[in-house]
Amino acid sequence: MDNRVGYVVYHRKYSRLQKFIMAIAVVFIILPSVLCVILFDRMNKMQSRIDELAAAGRQGSVAGQAEAEDEDDGMDGALYNESDDTQALKDASDIKYSRPSDIVRDEDRYHGARVYLTFDDGPSDNTDAILDKLGEYGVKATFFVVMKEDEKSVERYKRIVNEGHTLAMHSASHVYSQIYSSYDAYTEDVNQLRSYLKSVTGVTPVYYRFPGGSSNTVSSVPMSECIEYLDSQGIIYYDWNVASGDTDRAYVSSLTIADNVIRGVEGKQSSVVLMHDTNKKTTTVDALDSILKYMSDTGKNVLPITEGTTPVHHRISDAK
């Protein structure tokens, strides 16, 4: 009898132990699965949000109308606030631009889409790397430069010209509060840079890009007055209709830059691409291989800005 009772007690304890072990096993099997499902759902939501932000970035909508004045960081993209292409940007095909009748337009000269790669804020060490890469693919680009008087920079200005690229003006100082403080300050900046570039290269530049773009909202001078002055000097200004996003943050990967450019040029017959060639923008250099390979594979014409190029202009703001 005692043995039977002992057996029953033992069996009950053993049965409870089995159930306990099974419960633990179920928890350890099911719980991770549940957690994985929750984590996967959250990751999907996060990725969707990242995609939304990336899309917004590609449209050129950058938060914060900063009064940035960093000649090395290239803040032009951050000072351009584009709500959408149709509202804030005139595409090249819509620009009412008059040129001498004997000038052949790029759209008549070249078959297929045209892409104008433009680099702001140089020259720097990265300018040399960019020129090397452009040379590998046998294409030309446009460099909107700032004023630098060191020997290496002078050699880079000359190299841009000698290798058949377009040397264009950005600003002498790239200090926004100085350039846009008054009409006289603005015209002095333009003239200083233009005279300097002519003195070191023998070429008088005729193309210009406003620091922050023509739609910037930091200028104390009405942008229409700045534009009128450029017109009076025979200078043509260019904005952009594709932003590489290489200055959106302190670090932007080469993959993101290439993706922004490739997506940006799709569906456009004429794309003026904003990029930067300051010393900090090494990922811009790294992105060029993918960008240029894509252009080659899809038969797009990669061209420098010349007298046959129709300008892209933003909608200017004369609020001040």
If we measure between CA atoms, which residue out of 128, 165, 159, 178 comes closest to residue 192? 178
Structural contact between residues 182 and 221, judged by C-beta atoms closer than 8 angstroms: yes
State percent of the chain over pLDDT 90: 66
Average the pLDDT over 106-135 and give the result. 97
**What confidence category does residue 14 fall into, taking pLDDT thresholds of 50, 70 and 90?**
low
Which one is predicted more confidently, 97 or 103? Answer: 103
**What confidence category does residue 69 fall into, taking pLDDT thresholds of 50, 70 and 90?**
very low
Structural contact between residues 315 and 221, judged by C-beta atoms closer than 8 angstroms: no
Contacts (Cβ under 8 Å, ≥6 apart) of 306: 106, 166
Q: Kindly compute the dihedral angle of the four CA atoms of residues 121, 125, 128, 133, in this order, to the nearest 10 degrees.
A: -90
Kindly report the average pLDDT of the chain as a whole number: 82
| DSSP helix/strand/coil, 316 | coil
Tally the C-alpha atoms within 13 A of residue 13's C-alpha that lie toward its C-beta: 6
Q: How far apart are CA 160 and CA 168, in angstroms?
A: 10
Residue 24 has a pLDDT of 74
Instruction: State whether the Cα torsion 225-230-236-240 is positive or negative.
Output: negative
The pair of structure tokens assigned to 308 is 């046959």
Average the pLDDT over 5-23 and give the result. 61
Structural contact between residues 212 and 184, judged by C-beta atoms closer than 8 angstroms: no
Residue-wise pLDDT tens digits, 232-264: 999 999 999 999 999 999 999 999 999 999 999
**What confidence category does residue 88 fall into, taking pLDDT thresholds of 50, 70 and 90?**
very low
Residue 234 has a pLDDT of 97
State percent of the chain over pLDDT 70: 69
The pair of structure tokens assigned to 16 is 């409870």
Residue 152 has a pLDDT of 98
Residue 316 has a pLDDT of 85
Contacts (Cβ under 8 Å, ≥6 apart) of 52: none
Burial class (CB in 10 A: 0-12, 13-18, 19+), 179: buried
pTM: 0.74
Q: How far apart are CA 51 and CA 73, in angstroms?
A: 25
Which one is predicted more confidently, 136 or 17? Answer: 136
The pair of structure tokens assigned to 81 is 């606030």
Which one is predicted more confidently, 180 or 86? Answer: 180
Query: CA 66, 72, 73: angle at the middle one, nearest 5?
Result: 40
Residue 78 has pLDDT above 50, yes or no: no
Cβ atoms < 10 Å from Cβ of 148: 17
